[in-house]
Structure 1
Amino acid sequence: MDKTAVIVIDMINTYDHDDADLLIPAAEAALPAMVDLLDRARRHDVPVIYANDNFGQWRSHHGELLERALAGPHADLVRPLSPDEDSLFVVKARHSIFYETPLSYLLREQGITHVVLCGQVTEQCVLYSALDAHIRHLKVTVPRDAVAHIHEDLADAALRMMGRNMDARITVARELRF
């Protein structure tokens, strides 16, 4: 039987970057599905891991990233998804949640063989993370309503690629059972 973890990608965010105006509406649309997914995962004792960009702030830690995002103008997108006391947190610097992070080790130590990816950006960080999970022989699920995009056409193509080329299960959040 597979042990699952939900991984929240780049949702601790100030939205002070290029393409934020295109991303924010998609993040707002995906927020309810993400909140429900995290609530259900936590109720079933499924590990929730945040993998978040450090935005080039190499002296920061997850608490500072969260404080900065909650103090920003888009705190309404961050607050409902804030890590709880049981959440794990991995800081990343590039697109993939695996690139130069301890995530592979963490997943192996926890016995996790299946990852559910939610967050942003579908056609960038989610796509590259799904590929890196696949090449590590992890099962991948992506709930299409719990990921946010910048360009809808590229996100649709990315989801098709994840399903076809990476054997990812593409579903909707409410269909996931823990």
Structure 2
Amino acid sequence: MEKSAVVVIDMITTYDHADADLLLPSAREAIPSIVQLIQHAREHRIPVIYVNDNFGEWRSHHGEILETALAGPHADLVEPLRPDDDSLFVVKARHSIFYETPLAYLLSQLEVEHVILCGQVTEQCILYSALDAHIRHLQVTVPKDAVAHIQEGLAEAALEMMQRNMGATICSTDSLIS
């Protein structure tokens, strides 16, 4: 059986961006499943890797990103997803979790062959990250209830593209962890 990692994408945020009002309802729906997935991973010693935007703050590190998000107006959405001391954290600047980050190297060092992608935004960062994982010959799973979207129709199309074009497994969190 291939070694897996749970990758939590862009969930440490203040939601201070143009599409936040469209994203927030979907994020609120996805958070319980993301929490469930993280808890399951921690209980089964599956690596949990947070990959998060740096919001253009090139001097910031993961602690500062977390502190800023927890001080923001939507701390209630960030608190349940707080990284623990065993969690790994990679800072990114663009849509894909792989673009100009050390993630591919980290995954190879952990001998991970399968990534479980959760977080936001389905039709942007999740989609581009799934494609980049696929071209790196990683197995990809996306629990559809553990990803948040801005545009529901685009998110559904993105999930279908991941499944059809990248061979990604699209499932529910419950089916994945049971």
TM-score in same-fold range (> 0.5): yes
Given residue 39 of structure 2, which amino acid in structure 1 is its aligned partner? D
Matched residues in 1 for 2:94 and 2:64: separation? 19
Q: CA deviation at 1:121?
A: 0.1
Matched residues in 2 for 1:72 and 1:79: separation? 11
Matched residues in 1 for 2:19 and 2:145: separation? 20
1:124 and 2:124 are equivalent in the alignment? yes
Q: Which contiguous aligned blocks of 4+ residues in structure 1 show a shift greater than 2 angstroms?
A: none
Correspondences of 1:35-54 after superposition (within 5 Å): 35-54=35-54
Matched residues in 2 for 1:155 and 1:174: separation? 20
Q: CA deviation at 1:109?
A: 0.5
Aligned to 1:114: 114
Matched residues in 1 for 2:123 and 2:72: separation? 25
Aligned to 2:176: 176
Given residue 119 of structure 2, which amino acid in structure 1 is its aligned partner? G
Matched residues in 2 for 1:174 and 1:68: separation? 31
Matched residues in 2 for 1:172 and 1:71: separation? 31
Aligned to 2:2: 2
Matched residues in 2 for 1:136 and 1:36: separation? 27
In structure 1, runs of 5+ residues without a counterpart are none
Matched residues in 2 for 1:25 and 1:103: separation? 29
Matched residues in 2 for 1:26 and 1:153: separation? 13
Given residue 13 of structure 2, which amino acid in structure 1 is its aligned partner? N
Aligned to 2:165: 165
Q: CA deviation at 1:176?
A: 1.1
1:25 and 2:62 are equivalent in the alignment? no
Aligned residue pair count: 178
Given residue 102 of structure 2, which amino acid in structure 1 is its aligned partner? P
Deviations for 1:78-110, whole angstroms, at most 9, x for unmatched residues? 000010000000000000000000000000010
Provide the secondary structure at the position in 2 that maps to 1:176: helix
Correspondences of 1:129-144 after superposition (within 5 Å): 129-144=129-144
